[in-house]
Chains A and B, each alone.
Chain A
Amino acid sequence: MRIQFYVLITLFCGLSLSAQDYFPKNDGVKAENNNFTAFINAKIHITPNKVLDRGTLLIQKEKVIEAGKTVQLPKNTILIDLNGKSIYPSFIDIYSNFGVEKPKPATSGGRSAQYGPSREGYYWNDHIMPENDAISKFNYDNKKAKELREAGFGVVNTHIQDGIARGNGALISLNDIGNDSDRVLADKSAQYFSMTKSVAKRQAYPTSLMGTLALLRQMYFDADWYAQGNVTTKDLSLEALNTNKGLVQIFEAKDKDNVLRADKIGDMFNINYTILAGGNEFESVAEIKATNASLIVPINFPDPYDVSDPYLAEYVSLEDMRFWNQAPTNPKVLEENHITFSLTLHDQKSTSSFRKNLLKAIEYGLSKTKALEALTTIPAQILGKSNIIGSLQNGSQANFLITSGDIFDKESVLYENWVQGQKHIINNKELKDIRGNYNLAAGKKMYQLSITGELDKPKAEIKEGEDKLTSKINYEDHWLTLSFNTKEGDQAFRLSAMATSASDNLEGKLLLPDGTETTFNATRTSAFSEKEKDGAKETPVVVPIAFPNIGYGYSQQPKQESMLFKNATVWTSEDMGILEQTDVLVKNGKIAKIGKDLKSIGATIVDATGKHLTAGIIDEHTHIAALSINESGQNSSAEVKMEDVVDPKHIGIYRDLAGGVTSAQLLHGSANPIGGRSAILKLKWGAGADGMIYNNSPKFIKFALGENVKQSNWNSFSRFPQTRMGVEQTFINYFQRAKEYDIKKKSGQPYRFDEEMETLAEIINGERFISCHSYVQSEINMLMKVAEKFDFKVNTFTHILEGYKVADKMAEHGVGASTFSDWWAYKYEVNDAIPYNAAIMQSQGITVAINSDDAEMSRRLNQEAAKTVKYGGMTELEAWKMVTINPAKLLHIDHRVGSIKEGKDADLVLWSNNPLSVYAKVEKTIIEGAVYFDLEKDKQQREAIRKEKALLINLMLKEKDNGSPTQEPKKKNQEELHCDSL
């Protein structure tokens, strides 16, 4: 009862704005204020592109009545003269969590992961919460609102920033005087999504970015299925998702590549997301532009690294230094490329740092008009609210800023931030500037008084002759109070005066140290002037971006050229074997001709005398260039795709090229019996992810057996399977379901689209190939039997360390093998792993490849292949095939790569020596006729990195000297991913 009473009080006390006319009033009489307010003689920015030099803005209650050169003013108008001042529409942030508390992180529970959901009546995955409603969690936050208004914001679009599907947002005016009935411009203002799990929920799935993307896709498929009335049970999540389909859809990506990932999902389901960017979009602006998405861009530019300690500075990567240097250009680059974007406070260190960064963006080339658009008209337009916010057109909300001048000038002062026709003072615009030098007569003496500092926070210095006296000053609401001590320091004079516009001198009351009251006066001798800035501002030095934008990235992406290799020893990896003193001509990215004494006009001649030319190495099993390896939230993750998480900036790509690797299969890890779909890559350093993935790529999926999928080597006791017996049953169950799914699908009946089942059905139908992580003979045999039961063939066993024990059975099944040369003894199931494995399997007619599963080994697979000569007596010819044509065959790309044959892709490596020799070094690596690695170029790159780092370090030191805050040196963690990386 009592609580209700308080609620009533707060509700009614706040009501000074527009009375809600149907609310009863018991604490007085009803009275309306229908007066107008006119701001005259101001420079008015009605929109960023429509500016009146001396105009009038007329408002009434919460609305703009008119803004114009000449405006008819009703008689009941209060006039405010803003001569010399400017008016701007106030800013809008559409990516805010204002007034919405962030959910508390779940406390960790139990020693095993939680696989099932914790809710009932909602979607099966706890991180999908489209039913969340920002307004239900909303509490107006006065303190934060004040901060935001001080930064120039009048309206924010808030939401609960938690989970993958986050529910809908609310559009809030930062109006302190009114209450929520005034402030809430819209609930259900937008529907929000992200790639981050809920901190409040413990459900394991998804553990990875690729799992998150798969979950989002399946969520939309399921929503559609639900909307068609095919589901008999209740799902409040999907209902909310469907209901809010028509709203603005906002996606938190926070990184350029994630912008592209979000856009891909949008394309699949015909949704045009507005996307929260990451600030690094300048690195691949062409791809970003191609998405056609509107962006919300943070401007949380990094501080320079503190590089004053050379030992610590050593650890900062060129990539991180460059990002510090280039990040402030992001808004400019987006503007130049005509990408629609709004700006956000999101991820600012503090609200007050926003302005500093905004000015920095302008210093780095963002136009002031675009800056203003990005804070007013564009966010309004994205939200579909241009009629009420973002401008000062007739009928708009009266949300505007009064400034001393150009809002994007460093010197300008923000005086007032009006929200919904209510004045909020930031700095008192009427405050008289009392700064200057005075002759102060007090008591019977003369003193020199000098007032400096900020207008509303002045500093005072009082001198008696040459002696400085200690003093205190306060200036507020036109009242000055000043106290100072005598030379001896023990007795205080106290002064108080009111500054008036009538005179520049100050007069007022003086209290002498003995308590006597008298008066003082101070005659101004000169006005305050700010110190002159040191010359004109230098244009910032910005280093150019590279492809990719890290050390060893190229200034331009390598281009195809015609090349003629003369007199090489050519390892064809074909029946032709090794050809001595042979020429190879490369044209249009293909191997055009192999022969003796070849000639070609215009081709670059490469003298390969004494050198060896081979096809590029193919690594059947790699985990470089990936942002995640395992989706371990479920025992089957056929729905996830490595293609979704290719990281084209990974230095492992360059290092692989330096080891002669040109193609690789990026495999999902081995956490689950059924893993994810592969990405088969050409290591085109400098291209984006899509540029590296094979076009018309054969379809592959990772499967796994043994200790990893049983979770034997870490604490996990709740997930099926825990034994090899369970692994078989997992496969049989999934394949049976996929078979039934496929039958239903082909029958023409309506069916629920299931990405996981689609993928498994592809396997059964022979359209997708399995590469299966495997160790001991029992499980190898088992998977072949399961496959045979469902009438398909296992394509590849990878690792396959006991393959030699069942090589005859494998040959009969027709499966290939991709193995390590000599790894063993790292876990129980590799007790019987032997380096002779490759040779034995090969002797039984199996197609055998040597792979790496390791970033270090990948860059010297030639040596690993050579070990098969030692262990098992392979011929050099056959050994070399194990890293070229054999993996190409296993990956079904042997018609394109893997050997030197006319018509095939010119993926070539020039070696200093016999490629199987430990003494051989890669001199050039070529993909489709373009040189991606070259020893000479590499030398230049090292020098360029050294120079650029020196330049950037100097710039950072300079910025530190100029008083900039810094961040401590950091080193990028080069996490080397393997099969069991979680």
Chain B
Amino acid sequence: MKNIRNTIALVLLSFTIKGTAQQTPASTQKEAISIEGAVAHLGNGEVIENSLIMFEGGKIFFVGDAKTRIARKGTIINANGKHIYPGFIVTCASLGLIEVDAVRASNDKDEIGELIPHVRSLIAYNAESKVVESMRPNGVLLGQISPKGGTISGTSSVMQFDAWNWEDAVVKADDGIHLSWPNSFKLGPSTEGQGRRHKPNENYTKEKEKIVSFFKNALAYGKSKAPEINPAYAATQGLFNGTQKLYVYADGEKEILDAITNTKNLGVQEVVLVGGYHSYKITDFLKQNQISVLVRAPHNLPSSEDDDYDLPYKLPKILSDSGLLVAMQNTDAKNFQNRNLPFYAGQLVQQGLSREKALQMITQNPAKILGIDEVYGTLEVGKSATLFISEGDALDMRTNQLSRAFIDGRDISLETHQTELWKRYMEKYNGK
């Protein structure tokens, strides 16, 4: 008992306390940094046991073995026995759009209207959110920020998590449009003795038709230069020319088939399936259509009583094993849960996926799906120095202990509102 207290006290001494509400964003990388000796998990499936990684001006210029005879540039960080990872990437999150779920005034994630692709997340993104900064100590450094609710919720953007304002935070503006496909099964009203039950949705066809009609109109609208702007149609043009992706949320087998067949037929170039609870039943179809999947993170319950207890745990692995490009999202969970992204990957290792493949699901794969893989997602020469050093295996709760983290080479703070409170109160108790 005493020992632990002493250890904690020692740990605490090594911190400095700032006492401000938010962490100050780090300034541009001024000097090259060389990290030596760590086990480097490159995010592309490869591992370098004893690595040397060097970056300058925000870009990685060397990735290799530490035994390589090459001059170390700039500040040298000795990371012997430690692990280095590319920054983890969350998808379909509403981080920065809502701060406290129960406080309506802090909620900017769900605009009224059913088909509102013109609504954009990035301008509402709160770069100073305390929830956003709490992502960083777990290695989550980037994310796709998407609006919620309605049928077409709006347009998302990819942001990095250390910025003064939303403009600075943008990594990729307006990357995709988010569409919730209707359910063929719906929660019915409460009946005596049975409570509320899901039953076939009588309006399924009608709801589907609305979406189809919207896309047909949007496509037709784009073919001529109308003098009157229709904001909703105008906002979807990127889908037809391939500059934006369509993120379709569907879980049932029928819904997935319907959603993908329809949106592809309507001329949408790139469709990403989000959710996909039953996608494991139709992996061949998904492969044929070259659909990548943002599957629901494993820390969820099976949706039917008779499902395997571990279906959510193994679903991402099943999809990955079948050759699909897979990343994870936990869009139904509360915002703060996004910091558990590394442990979602860890859970897949528990299910038999290799550690590096699991890691890909939160690094290279989401980067590819979001279309930022030329810059982010892996530790490769020429890419952004967005990475972190962990004391141990970052996919395991016990050893996910970050000592340093960088976004575009900027040496970011790993302090948060939460670490500050921790230190404040430990000082109080240790001081008495």
Contacts and interface: CB of A to CB of B under 8 A. Distances in A.
Interface of A: 254-255, 311-312, 314-315, 317-319, 550-552, 651, 654-655, 658, 707, 712-713, 804-805, 807-808, 822-828, 830-832, 834-836, 839-840, 843-845, 855-857, 859-860, 863, 866-867, 869-876, 878-879, 916-921, 938, 942, 945, 949, 968-976
Contacts of B396: 866, 917-919
18 contacts: A312-B185, A654-B309, A655-B301, A804-B425, A823-B334, A825-B336, A843-B4, A843-B5, A843-B426, A855-B301, A866-B396, A872-B8, A873-B4, A873-B11, A878-B4, A970-B198, A974-B301, A974-B304
B349 A919 contact: yes
Contact of B429 (A822, A825, A843, A916): A843
B350 to A, nearest CB: 5
B304 A315 contact: yes
A971 to B, nearest CB: 4
6 nearest A-B pairs in the assembled complex, by CB-CB distance = A918-B346, A827-B102, A971-B198, A836-B422, A551-B306, A866-B397
Interface in B333-352: 334-336, 339-340, 343, 346-347, 349-350
A810 to B, nearest CB: 12
Contacts of B334: 823, 825-826
B419 to A, nearest CB: 8
Contacts of A824: 336, 418
Contacts of A831: 100
Given A551-B305, A969-B200, A971-B199, A840 B343 contact: no
B228 interface: no
B253 interface: yes
A828 B131 CA distance: 13
Interface stretch (B46-54, B162-170, B189-197): B189-197
Nearest to B350: A919
B421 interface: yes
Interface string B379-398: 00000000000000001111
Interface residues of chain A: helix, strand, loop or mixed (majority): loop
Contacts of A552: 306, 309
Interface string B206-233: 0000000000000000000000000000
Given A713-B102, A825-B334, A869 B397 contact: yes
A825 B397 contact: no
Nearest to A860: B299
B5 A834 contact: no
A863 B343 contact: yes
B184 A834 contact: no
A631 B250 CA distance: 36
B309 A973 contact: no
B252 interface: yes
A551 B307 CA distance: 9
**Interface-central residue, B5, B199, B401, by most chain A CB under 10 Å:** B199
A874 B398 CA distance: 9
Given A827-B101, A874-B4, A972-B197, A314 B397 contact: no
Contacts of B123: none
Contacts of B197: 970-973
B252 A974 contact: no
B197 to A, nearest CB: 4
Contact of A317 (B184, B252, B304): B304
Interface in B1-18: 1, 4-5, 7-8, 11
Contacts of B421: 804, 832, 834, 836
A840 B422 contact: yes
Contacts of B185: 312, 315, 969, 971
Given A869-B397, A873-B4, A973-B195, A840 B425 contact: yes
Contact of B397 (A312, A707, A918): A918
A973 to B, nearest CB: 5
Interface in B31-46: none
B234 interface: no
A856 B336 contact: no
B422 A872 contact: yes
Contact of A658 (B184, B303, B310): B310
A136 to B, nearest CB: 26
B254 interface: yes
B69 interface: no
Contact of A918 (B100, B198, B395): B395
A543 to B, nearest CB: 14
B199 A825 contact: no
A408 to B, nearest CB: 28
Given A835-B418, A972-B197, A920 B301 contact: no
A873 B310 contact: no
Contacts of B5: 843
A969 B254 CA distance: 15
Contacts of B103: 827-828
Contacts of B4: 843, 873-875, 878
B299 A856 contact: yes
Interface in B274-314: 278, 299-306, 308-310
Interface string B390-431: 000001111111000000000000000011011001100100
B258 to A, nearest CB: 10
Nearest to B103: A828
Contacts of A945: 306
B422 A319 contact: no
Contact of B184 (A312, A805, A916): A312
B8 A971 contact: no
A317 B309 contact: no
A916 B398 contact: yes
A828 B196 contact: no
B398 A876 contact: yes
B174 interface: no
A975 B401 CA distance: 36
**Interface-central residue, B398, B400, B426, by most chain A CB under 10 Å:** B398
**Interface-central residue, B11, B103, B187, B195, by most chain A CB under 10 Å:** B103
A866 B131 CA distance: 21
Nearest to A837: B422
A11 B304 CA distance: 61
A970 B346 CA distance: 35
Interface string B302-332: 1111101110000000000000000000000
Interface in B62-121: 99-103
B301 A856 contact: yes
Given A311-B254, A805-B425, A827-B101, A968 B199 contact: yes
B425 A311 contact: no
Nearest to B186: A971
Contacts of A827: 100-103
Nearest to A659: B309
B101 A826 contact: yes
Nearest to B312: A856
**Interface-central residue, A826, A830, A870, A972, by most chain B CB under 10 Å:** A870
B327 to A, nearest CB: 18
A966 to B, nearest CB: 12
Contacts of B252: 311, 314
B90 to A, nearest CB: 15
Contact of A651 (B8, B11, B102, B305): B305
A540 B299 CA distance: 43
Given A834-B421, A973-B196, A873 B101 contact: no
Nearest to A808: B429
B432 to A, nearest CB: 7
**Interface-central residue, A822, A832, A945, by most chain B CB under 10 Å:** A822
Contacts of A968: 199-200
B5 to A, nearest CB: 5
Given A311-B254, A873-B7, A975-B195, A807 B184 contact: no
A921 B350 contact: yes
A857 B333 CA distance: 12
A790 B419 CA distance: 37
A157 B100 CA distance: 57
Nearest to B343: A918
A139 B151 CA distance: 53
